[in-house]
Amino acid sequence: MSVIDQLKTKLTQELDALHVEIIDDSWQHAGHHQAPTGLEATHLSITVVSPRFEGVGLMDQHRLVHEVLKEARETHLHALQLKTITPSNWQQAVQ
């Protein structure tokens, strides 16, 4: 299982996520002075739709995701673009 698939599974399970999309932007940062070399998934764009976000402020939503990704941030994740969405807002956006 790829690193991306592992992260997607972890986010889905730990946040009861209805939808997780992860885009690996690492290739755009090749040679970046702080990016680790030889590792995948160093720069990610992640969208998470979770009922755990209902009634929770945006900063706390992001904290929940960062807590789930704590190990990845300590080992290989260098940069993260994050979008968190409640199921009710996701349904409105899809319609």
Average pLDDT over residues 9-23: 97
Give the angle 7-93-49 at the CA atoms, nearest 5°: 25
Predicted confidence at residue 38, as pLDDT, reads 58
Domains in the chain: boundaries: 3-94
Q: Kindly report, residue by residue over 53-95, the tens digit of the pLDDT.
A: 999 999 999 999 999 999 988 888 888 999 999 999 887 776 6
Percent of the chain, pLDDT > 70? 82
Domain 3-94, CATH: 3.30.300.90
pTM comes to: 0.84
